[in-house]
Amino acid sequence: MQLQRIGSLITPFETRAQCPRNGRQISPPPLCHAQIDEAFRPGLQGLDGFSHLILLYWMHEATEVALSFIPPFDSTPRGVFATRAPARPNPIALSVVRFDGMEADGRLRVFNLDCINGTVLLDVKPYLATTDSEPEASMGWLAPHATPRARPDR
């Protein structure tokens, strides 16, 4: 199996400690960029008009793997696949970001990103409310910890 880097992510976060747990924790959210490598810029055609994107990226500083651990806000051991923790066998992350347009140099302006500056970008997909949103989805063991989501992007 091979992965192809298509660009990098530009954020104000230089360390893991500076990264928010998710990109919606900061209000107002900082402007970030997805810098698309020149060879892949033709793939951006038609992206204008979408309000949100899905970014897939490689968490390059997540070197350890923990298949089971106790989350910081819980007291019960949980499996890594029941969490969004970075300590995964394949440190692939996903963020749904607000898309604020494209610059001539192949940079996408985005908000609500939660990764370290320089993180490798693997893929960009348009967010489709008709297929990507599941309003009736349950949150499993996280339900008691859930708080109403602030909407700093509106």
pLDDT in tens, 37-72: 999 999 999 999 999 999 999 988 877 888 998 888
Domains of the chain, residue spans? 7-145
pTM: 0.85
The answer to which of 21-35, 77-91, 114-128 has the lowest mean pLDDT is: 21-35
133: confidence class by pLDDT, cuts 50, 70, 90 = confident
pLDDT of residue 150: 45
- Which burial class, exposed, middle or buried, applies to 22 when counting CB atoms under 10 A from its CB (0-12, 13-18, 19+)? middle
Q: How many CB atoms lie within 10 A of CB 109?
A: 15
Q: Would you say 53 and 121 are in contact if contact means Cβ atoms under 8 Å apart? A: no
Tokens of 49: 């008009």
Alpha carbons 103 and 99: distance in angstroms, whole number: 12
pLDDT per residue over 9-35, tens digit each? 999 888 877 776 665 667 788 899 999
Range 99-103 average pLDDT = 96
Between the two ends of the chain, the Cα-to-Cα distance in Å is 39
Assigned architecture for domain 7-145: Beta Barrel (2.40)
